Structure 1
Amino acid sequence: MAQWCDIGVNLFSAQFDADRAATVQRAAQAGIRNLLLIGSDLAESQLNITFCQQYAGCYTTAGIHPHQAANADTGWQQQLQQSLLQPEVVALGECGLDFNRDFSPRPIQQQVFAEQLQLAKQHTKPVYLHERDAFATQLAMLQEQQINHGVVHCFTGDTRQLKAYLELGLYIGITGWICDERRGQDLQQAVRYIPADKLLLETDAPYLLPRTLEHKPKSRRNEPAFLAEIARQVALLRGCSLAELEAQCWRNSQTLFGFTTSLAAKG
């Protein structure tokens, strides 16, 4: 039985409202051993924590996405610290900078990001990083705070950007973007340069349905059960076997996040 880990699932997207538990069950049937739920704000992080308390093999991040930075309540730092104490929380994020949409003013994004980086170091949690059209600024902030423990979530950049993140010691999360023959060409080149011990796979479900998936759902919704298609493309591009990739990604997830138990409802 395969033992994959999906290190990026937006399980409390409204797209999963009708079948959240069934989605987890399908993931387990597809050989997914662990799910890492993504917290984009403190409310979603708490929903994730409560869900993870009901399902073994589910873990979560806790943090504030740059889109939500301007909406952070007074005292958010204390609230986040309380979340970070929960055993289900294995990383701080999704945090970072997004200068593509600028849903939050850039100075506020940078302030909230900087404070989250400090909290991550204080609590010895890996950071779960988001970045879009803000590479130079984000890299400078990571260097300034000497961040070397975390993962670049949904990396879609080129080889130059990849190498800069790797120099910091960060892991790289690869999504179905790599299955896109139109937009994924830079990533298809860059993935060859990721050291085996720094590679992680994620669906970013319900987003980024792999375009190479043979039987696509009519809803166009991505889900963790489709992680194997991303793995297949990555293995082809890297010239390795699926078994090698599976074993290495499992070791990497254990090292970074401390995954132990397998997917199953508790009780």
Structure 2
Amino acid sequence: MIDAGVNLTSSQFDKDREQMLDRAREAGISNMLLIGCDLESSIASLSLAQTHGFCSTVGVHPHDAKDAPRDLIKQLHEIAKSSEVVAIGECGLDFNRDFSPRPVQERICSEQLGLAQQLSMPVYLHERDAHTRLQALLSEVQVNGVLHCFTGDKQALKYYLDYGLMIGVTGWVCDERRGQQLRELIQYIPDDRLLIETDAPYLLPRTLKPKPKSRRNEPAYLQAVAEQIALLKGIEPSAVARHSTENFMALFNVSEQGSKP
């Protein structure tokens, strides 16, 4: 399996990052997409990707949009030249927490979408309670990519699929409380548009038994996401793993192990 979204730079991994990666390999994780949320974490994710043979993104999360420098796009463009960088993001809109002013979020997101279009690179998108506005921004460009950690409604899902995006599913689908809507929508995500991701260290699958003492998510638990999707789709977990791996390789133009061929 390939974990299509890991926050490997998180301080939650500082004490046992190498051991955690060993557990991931033992669990059959052959590659990971390391997420950049601002310039600092994008550079750090790239460094980790280069060290461990993974892929990474470069971008600014809507939470951090307010702190983006004036020459953001120039700096992102430079980092994106590295072969391990396969997507622009994590970028998008978050009108749920509003950690950055909405007009600033929209400007920074739009600039990154423009860069992705210019470079013909996929985007790694974040959206919370902002479907209408993100739809407006996407209508101004032609990009491919993935809607990471999808938690929206049926209307939003239809739009993102019609636009051509892949859909990233996390341990949210394992949450019988918050994830009920997502569980009902899984059947509408075509096999050839599905990516699975942990978003570790966040979104620990609630279906894990026994639950880890740390309460921290990690890539080794990606199997729980595959199993829950398989249950909802009525297929084998191995099929979910196969489809998502093939989709990841096709979207980001990478081999199963490592970065761009």
Superposed CA offset, 1:30-54 (max 9, x none):
0011110100001101001111111
Indicate the residue corresponding to 2:224 in structure 1. Answer: 229
Runs of 4+ in structure 1 over 3 Å off: none
Is 1:220–2:225 an aligned residue pair?
no
Conservation of the 8 A alpha-carbon contact between 1:34 and 1:259: no
Q: Measure how far apart 1:256 and its partner are.
A: 0.6
Shift of 1:146: 3.1
1:176-223 per-residue CA deviation (whole Å, 9 max, x = no partner) reads 000111111110011100111100000000000000111211111000
How many residues are aligned here? 258
**Correspondence for 2:187 among 192, 202, 219:** 192
Counterpart secondary structure, 2:150: coil
1:5-24, aligned counterparts within 5 Å?
5-24=2-21
The aligned residue for residue 142 of structure 1 is 138
Match of 2:206 among 203, 206, 211: 211
Q: What 5-or-longer segments of structure 2 have no aligned partner?
A: none
For 2:179 and 2:234, how far apart are their aligned partners in 1?
18
Listed one character per residue, the Cα deviations across residues 235-255 of structure 1 (whole Å, up to 9, x for unaligned) are 000111122222111110110
What's the TM-score once normalised by structure 1's chain length?
A: 0.94
**Cα shift at 1:261:** 5.1
Q: Does 1:63 align with 2:53?
A: no
Q: Which residue of 2 aligns with 1:102?
A: 98
Q: Kindly provide the amino acid, as one letter, of the partner of residue 49 in structure 2.
A: C
Q: 2:171 aligns with which of 159, 173, 176?
A: 176
**Of 61, 74, 82, the match for 2:78:** 82
Q: Tell me the C-alpha RMSD between the 2 structures.
A: 1.0
- Equivalents in 2 of 1:62, 1:21: separation in Å? 22
8 Å CA contact 2:117–2:142 kept in 1: the answer is: no
Is 2:48 aligned against 1:54? no
Q: Deviations over 1:75-123 (max 9, x none)?
A: 1111100011110100000000011111111111111111100000111
Query: Residue 144 of structure 1: CA displacement?
Result: 2.3
1:201 aligns with 2:164: no
Query: SS of the counterpart of 1:144?
Result: coil
Distance across 2 between alignment mates of 1:173 and 1:102: 22
> Residue 152 of structure 1 corresponds to which residue in structure 2?
147
**TM-score normalized by the length of structure 2:** 0.96
Q: Does 1:245 align with 2:240?
A: yes
Query: Cα offset for 1:69?
Result: 0.6
Indicate the residue corresponding to 1:114 in structure 2.
110
CA–CA distance in structure 2, aligned partners of residues 157 and 66 of structure 1:
17
The one-letter amino acid of 2:34's match is L
Q: Which has the higher contact order (CA 8 A, sep 6+)?
A: 1
* CA distance, structure 1, for counterparts of residue 55 and residue 20 of structure 2: 15
Give the secondary-structure state (helix, strand or coil) at the position aligned to 1:54. Answer: helix
CA distance in 2: counterparts of 1:85 and 1:146, whole angstroms: 21
Give how far 1:158 is off.
Answer: 1.9
Paired-residue identity, %? 53
What amino acid is the match of 1:52? A
Match in the other structure for 2:121: 125
Structure 2 SS opposite 1:53: helix
Question: Aligned pair in 2 of structure 1 residues 183, 257: CA closer, same or farther (>3 Å)?
Answer: same
Q: Mind listing any 5+ residue stretches in structure 1 that lack a counterpart?
A: none
Match of 1:91 among 87, 90, 93: 87
One-letter amino acid of the structure 1 residue matched with residue 253 of structure 2: G
Distance in 1 (CA, whole Å) between partners of 2:256 and 2:136 is 36
